[in-house]
Amino acid sequence: MHALLYRCKEVRTMSEVSDRLRRLVEESGKSYSQIEKETGIPKSALSRYLSGETGKIPLDRLKALAKCLGVAPECILGWVRENDEDLSDAMKLRQELRTRPELAILFKATENCTAEQIESVARMIESWAK
C-alpha cells in the first residue's frame, strides 16, 4: 500500500471529527445496534457523536469505535489518514479488505484477527485461486 503521511498541524474541530466518524460508520455498513453491541456505546451517545451534538468523545469510547470500524483512533481525530504508515499492520490489512469490493465479505471476519492471522488467510486464498 502506498501511504502519504498526513500530520495535522492544527486542532481538528468536533464537526470535522463527527463528519469523519459518520463517514467511517457509513462505509462500515454497520447499524447503530451493531456498533452498540460491539462497543458498549449506547446508540443515543453514538448519535450525538455523529451529529456533532457533543463537544467531546471519551478516550475509551474513541478507542472502541476505532476498533469496531477498523481504523486507528488517530484516523477518527484526523491526525493521520486511514492509509498512513503509522497504522498497525492489522489495521492496514483490514482497511484494504474494507475498501476492496471483492474482499469486503472478509472484512467482518477479520475484526478480532492479528496481522499474522489475516496474512495467513490471504496466503491460503491466494493459493486456492491459482
Q: What is the pLDDT of residues 66-120, one digit of tens each?
A: 889 888 888 888 776 555 544 556 666 666 666 676 666 666 676 667 777 777 8
Tell me the C-alpha distance between 48 and 123, whole Å. 41
Q: What is the pTM of this model?
A: 0.57
Tell me the C-alpha distance between 47 and 19, whole Å. 12
Tell me the C-alpha distance between 33 and 35, whole Å. 5
Tell me the C-alpha distance between 71 and 91, whole Å. 6
Cβ burial, residue 99 (10 Å; 0-12/13-18/19+): middle
pLDDT per position as a tens digit, 24-71: 898 888 999 999 999 999 999 999 999 989 888 999 999 999 889 888
